Amino acid sequence: MAMMFWYGNGLNGWGWFAMSAGMVLFWGLLITVAVMAFRALDRAAERPSASRPAAPAEQILSERLARGEIDEEEYRRRLTALRSAEP
């Protein structure tokens, strides 16, 4: 049992340093992988799905009017421009 340790009954200074640096690198790598996985999953949830069709321009315009982003005059002007641009 006494032959198990080459440097007496423990590690020397370099051994402690290597073990500490290895532990810091291990936890840093583990945390980095976890953060990157979380960000990738979060970005995938933000992307609009391809199966959901885009809302028509008139519907978006009506929603903006309902939210108060534009006034009625601006709504009518843009609606006229949209309808005149259709083929």
Among 55, 84, 61, which residue's Cα sits nearest to residue 74?
Answer: 61
Q: How many helices (H) and strands (E) does the chain have?
A: 3, 0
Question: Per residue in 30-56, pLDDT tens?
Answer: 999 999 999 998 887 776 655 555 568
Q: What is the pTM of this model?
A: 0.42
Residue 28, pLDDT > 80, answer: yes
Domains in the chain: boundaries? 10-47, 55-87
